Chains A and B, each alone.
Chain A
Amino acid sequence: MIALIVFALFFIGLMTFVIIRISISCLFWASKNPKDKQSVFKACFPYYIIILFAICLAFIIKFDKNEIVVYYFSIVYFLTLFIWRSELKSSPKKNKSFAVEPNHPKLP
């Protein structure tokens, strides 16, 4: 029985993670410049998180603030933030130097 519960919890957790991960990846794939993660973050993250928050809140209210539902959707919310964080941290490092490369290095 306990094994079944653990398996169910693991399955729900995995499914939640996959759904959130795919939804975030969709935003990057749909953007004009998927590699520019900061611009995707600026343009999409605010609306994404507001909509997600509204959905979580709606479910919490729908289930009459049931404790399990509150904990589940709180985890969904923080998991989303965590996935966004890992996505942003994995952004390729930009060239920190603003010095212009010489076009003709062999000129006297």
Chain B
Amino acid sequence: MIHSELNVTNKNNKYIHMKKLFLFIGALLFSTLFYGKSIGLNLFLFSVITLTVLYVNNKDDFRNKRILLYSSLYLVTGLSVFFHDSLVAIIANFVAFFTLIGLLSEHKSSIYVNWLNGLYTTIAGFFHRNFSFNEATQEVEPKKEIDYLHLFKIIFIPSIIVIVFIGLYQNGNPLFSKIIESIDLGFINIQWLLFAGLGYYLFSNIHKPIEVEPATELDLKTGNSLNKTEGFSIPKLKQENQLGIILISMLNALIVLFLITDITFLITNDDVRASVFSSQVHSGINALIASIVIAIIILLYVFRGDINFYKENKILKRLAFIWIILNVILVLSIATKNSQYIYYFGLTYKRIGVLAYLTLSVVGLITTLLKIDQIKNIWYLLRLNTKAAFVVLIIASTVNWDYHITNYNFNYAKSMDFNYLIDLSNNNTFLLKEQAESKGLANDSIMLINKKYRKYVYELRTNSWQELQYDNLKLDKK
């Protein structure tokens, strides 16, 4: 009995030491990867290290399919940063990181609560664990004793002995001596060590994810379905139903009229003048986007409560469905205008942003339809739509936008703003160089391209291994 208890204690101690060792190695790698370096291969390697630390400390959780999926998405965003060092990819990597950590803290919570939990764990996980209150024992959980002497022994004694032996072997073998002399540890300084301390703190925070209890509990308690309230009153609902039918009927009539005129305009004006089109798109799209948001808000207001359980709400529901479908057609008409604008004046981030926004609007409209049809609450909408936004962000992070913008504008657009392409990130530099060589561009343009190319090649050549990008490999092939 005593033997088995001793074995368990020994195993626990071993596990704690192993864990500490992992965190320590993680911290050193963190500083090696990021101290004084720009983003590149290091973010992907950091993703791999984070996943290793999380896996070692939460093995059981990694049997969950959702966690495996989110881990893969996290790695994909890390790879995206390596392939094209874009801001979207970096943001997506951070969001995926917080989502994964949050998911590990609570598997069943909504994605926005995962973000909150992930952020909280990253910022103050270690502190929270040391001061969390155990409900069962009614006292603050005591901090586990750390055997600093042992920790000192396992780190410093082997290090000193290894250094002594290196000194001995160096004298015995000239080749070995040459290898040892080529190792440069000049990068380690006080700031590097402080940075490693930051890494250790970060890994200590995230290795066992925690949750913001009030928010997580509230989220777990809140279901997706809408319930009938105690103040259910048929006369009141009859009035609400009438108001809803009149309002949505009028809005339906208005949107039908608008769509007829809009589609007529799109069909009859094959070759639209630039000035007309520009004003159409800039003033029109913003207004239409706002109208879609207002449409969703109106529907949420009308179907906010007991009207969902009123037996004679079928006409209202049908009108709402028609309005949603008409709004989807409106989105398609905006998308067509935006596409025509892109065709005439080229692709830009703003125009891609409009398309992304329209995609999210369609998702919002469809989920509103589902909410009304299946009598769901507003939390259902929020949960689905935040998930959709997350998916759109991850997909967007995998695309090298600067390359595609440049490629489209050179090869397909009727006109383009050359200075805009020059101002884009370095992701389009090689393509610009190719275009300069194959197409007859103005001398000024070629000069600008060559200047950008030389600067970028210099940057790539001076990149350390931590800052490596996919373009480094391309450069080596050339």
Nearest-neighbour CB distance to chain B for A94, whole angstroms, equals 5
Contacts of A47 in B (CB 8 A): 212
Q: Chain A CB within 10 Å — which of B116, B120, B124, B212 has the most? A: B124
Given A42-B213, A46-B212, A96-B139, decide whether A88 and B123 contact each other with a Cβ distance below 8 A: no
How far is A54 from B140 in the complex, measured between Cα atoms in Å? 28
Given A42-B213, A88-B140, decide whether A50 and B123 contact each other with a Cβ distance below 8 A: yes
Q: 1/0 per position for B208-232, CB-CB distance to A under 8 A?
A: 0000111100000000000000000
Given A43-B214, A46-B120, A46-B212, decide whether A38 and B127 contact each other with a Cβ distance below 8 A: no
Contacts of A41 in B (CB 8 A): 131, 133
B214 to A49, Cβ gap below 8 A?
Answer: no
Given A38-B133, A46-B212, decide whether A94 and B120 contact each other with a Cβ distance below 8 A: no
Given A96-B138, A96-B139, decide whether A50 and B127 contact each other with a Cβ distance below 8 A: no
Nearest-neighbour CB distance to chain B for A27, whole angstroms, equals 14
Given A42-B133, A43-B214, decide whether A49 and B139 contact each other with a Cβ distance below 8 A: no
* Interface status of A84 (Cβ within 8 A of chain B): yes
Nearest-neighbour CB distance to chain A for B247, whole angstroms, equals 38
* Interface status of A85 (Cβ within 8 A of chain B): yes
How far is A84 from B132 in the complex, measured between Cα atoms in Å? 12
How far is A53 from B127 in the complex, measured between Cα atoms in Å? 14
Contacts of A9 in B (CB 8 A): none
* Interface status of A55 (Cβ within 8 A of chain B): no
CB contacts under 8 Å to B, within A11-65, are 38, 41-43, 45-47, 49-50, 53
* Interface status of A8 (Cβ within 8 A of chain B): no
Which B-chain residue is minimally distant from A41 (CB atoms)?
B131
Given A81-B127, A85-B127, A85-B131, decide whether A50 and B120 contact each other with a Cβ distance below 8 A: yes
Nearest-neighbour CB distance to chain A for B415, whole angstroms, equals 37
Contacts of A38 in B (CB 8 A): 133, 140
How far is A46 from B123 in the complex, measured between Cα atoms in Å? 9
Which A-chain residue is minimally distant from B117 (CB atoms)?
A46
B131 to A88, Cβ gap below 8 A?
Answer: yes
B124 to A46, Cβ gap below 8 A?
Answer: yes
Contacts of B92 in A (CB 8 A): none
Q: How large is the interface on A (under 10, 10 to 19, 20 to 34, 35 or more residues)?
A: 10 to 19
How far is A32 from B410 in the complex, measured between Cα atoms in Å? 65
B140 to A50, Cβ gap below 8 A?
Answer: no
Of B116, B128, B139, B215, the residue contacting A94 (CB under 8 A) is B139
* Count of A-B residue pairs with CB < 8 Å: 40
How far is A39 from B258 in the complex, measured between Cα atoms in Å? 55
Nearest-neighbour CB distance to chain A for B246, whole angstroms, equals 43
Which B-chain residue is minimally distant from A91 (CB atoms)?
B140
Nearest-neighbour CB distance to chain A for B45, whole angstroms, equals 22
Nearest-neighbour CB distance to chain B for A44, whole angstroms, equals 9
Which B-chain residue is minimally distant from A38 (CB atoms)?
B133
Contacts of A88 in B (CB 8 A): 131, 140
Which A-chain residue is minimally distant from B137 (CB atoms)?
A96
Nearest-neighbour CB distance to chain B for A69, whole angstroms, equals 14
Nearest-neighbour CB distance to chain A for B184, whole angstroms, equals 24
How far is A94 from B138 in the complex, measured between Cα atoms in Å? 7
Q: 1/0 per position for B100-117, CB-CB distance to A under 8 A?
A: 000000000000000010
Which B-chain residue is minimally distant from A52 (CB atoms)?
B123
B131 to A49, Cβ gap below 8 A?
Answer: no
Nearest-neighbour CB distance to chain A for B50, whole angstroms, equals 19
A49 to B213, Cβ gap below 8 A?
Answer: no
A81 to B140, Cβ gap below 8 A?
Answer: no
Contacts of A53 in B (CB 8 A): 123
CB contacts under 8 Å to A, within B358-404, are none
Q: 1/0 per position for A74-108, CB-CB distance to B under 8 A?
A: 00000001001100100100101010000000000
How far is A42 from B216 in the complex, measured between Cα atoms in Å? 12
* Interface status of B245 (Cβ within 8 A of chain A): no
Nearest-neighbour CB distance to chain B for A30, whole angstroms, equals 15
How far is A88 from B140 in the complex, measured between Cα atoms in Å? 9
Which A-chain residue is minimally distant from B126 (CB atoms)?
A81
B120 to A49, Cβ gap below 8 A?
Answer: yes
**Interface positions of B (Cβ within 8 A of A):** 116, 119-120, 123-124, 127-128, 131, 133, 138-140, 212-215
**Interface positions of A (Cβ within 8 A of B):** 38, 41-43, 45-47, 49-50, 53, 81, 84-85, 88, 91, 94, 96, 98
- A46-B128, A88-B140, A96-B139 known, 14 other contacts, Cβ within 8 Å: A41-B131, A42-B213, A42-B214, A43-B214, A45-B124, A46-B212, A47-B212, A49-B120, A49-B124, A50-B116, A50-B120, A50-B123, A81-B124, A81-B127
